[in-house]
Amino acid sequence: AQKITQTQPGMFVQEKEAVTLDCTYDTSDPSYGLFWYKQPSSGEMIFLIYQGSYDQQNATEGRYSLNFQKARKSANLVISASQLGDSAMYFCAMRKEDAGNMLTFGGGTRLMVKP
Amino acid sequence: GAGVSQSPSNKVTEKGKDVELRCDPISGHTALYWYRQSLGQGLEFLIYFQGNSAPDKSGLPSDRFSAERTGGSVSTLTIQRTQQEDSAVYLCASSSYPLQADTQYFGPGTRLTVL
C-alpha cells in the first residue's frame, strides 16, 4: 500500500522568503509519480509540479521546485520568494503507475505568508 | 481551454434523500476520477473511469454510492439515502491517462452538507 506523510500541519513564512514543505512517502512500487497541489480557500486543487520516480533531475516550475531524494523517500516542495497569494493548503500526492493511476494524498500543510 | 467543471457548487440535503453530483471533464480527457475531501478522512479516492467503464470502484464507501459516465464525457456521482457522514467536498479530476504526462486536473468541487 502507498502512504504519503506531511508532518507540518501549518507553517508561516515571511513574504519574499523561501519555504520548504515536507513530504515523505512509502511504496514498494519501482515506478511512481509524485505531485504537489495547491488548494486556496476557494477549494480548487491546482496542480503545481510533478516528479517521476525515474527522473534524474529535480523538477522545477517557476518559483516551485521539488527536492526529490529517492533513497530517503522524500519529495519536498520548495517555494522561492513567497508571495501573499501563496497562502493556501498544499498537498503532496503519489500516483501508482498501474491501471488507473489514481492519487494517494498526504494530510496537507497550511502555509501562511506574512506581509 | 475550459477546465473541469462540477455542479452544483453547493448542495444541502436532508438525511435520507438522494443526491446527484455532476462532473464535466476537460475535453478529450479519457480518464475521470472522483475523490472525497472530508475533515476526518482527508482526500480519498472513490472511483475511476476510463471512457465509460469503471475499472476501479474500490474507493466507494458503501453500496449507497454509485457513479456512471456517458459518452466518455460527463460523469454523475449518486449518493442514495444520504447520511450525515457523507458531508464532504466531492472533487472530480480528469486526465489524459493512459497517455504520458497524465496530470490530473481538478474541478472546483461540490460541497455536500447532509442535515
The pLDDT confidence band at residue B110, using thresholds 50, 70 and 90, is very high
Q: What is the pLDDT of residue A101?
A: 79
Taking the Cβ of residue A90 and every Cβ of chain B, the question of whether any pair is shorter than 8 Å is answered with: no
What is the rounded average pLDDT of the residues B55-67?
Answer: 91
Peptide linkage before B25 cis (omega within 30 of 0): no
Nearest-angstrom CA–CA distance, A1 and B67: 25
Asked whether the beta carbons of A12 and A4 are under 8 A apart, the reply is no
| pLDDT higher than threshold 80 for residue A1 | no
Asked if residues B45 and A104 have their Cβ atoms less than 8 Å apart, the reply is: yes
- In whole angstroms, give the CA distance from residue A9 to residue A103: 20
Q: State the pLDDT at residue B104.
A: 92
* Whole-number pLDDT of residue A30: 86
Helix (H, G, I), strand (E, B) or coil at A107: coil
* Higher pLDDT pick, B55 / A19: A19
Q: Do A99 and B56 touch (CB under 8 A)?
A: yes
With cut-offs at 50, 70 and 90, classify the pLDDT of residue B101: low
Check CB contact under 8 Å for A44 and B109. Answer: yes
